[in-house]
Amino acid sequence: MLEQLNVMLNPQVFPPDRYNMREVFRSIFLYYIRGICTDDGARIAAEHFARL
């Protein structure tokens, strides 16, 4: 998880002038959270991240 955060905040990987950092965050952490959730938890996580 820390490595994902480091990658997300690395401007050489995701230059802020080219990528919407909110979308990068949502994309990275939604799939991380979904990977450790039950089916019901994944549905709830998807609904939550859709509001971000």
pLDDT along the chain (52 residues), means of 10: 87 94 86 84 84 76
Q: What angle do CA 8, 19, 31 make, to 5 degrees?
A: 50
pLDDT attached to residue 17? 95
pLDDT at 50: 83
Tell me the CB-side half-sphere exposure of residue 17, using CA atoms within 13 A. 1
Whether the Cβ atoms of residue 7 and residue 13 lie closer than 8 Å to each other: yes
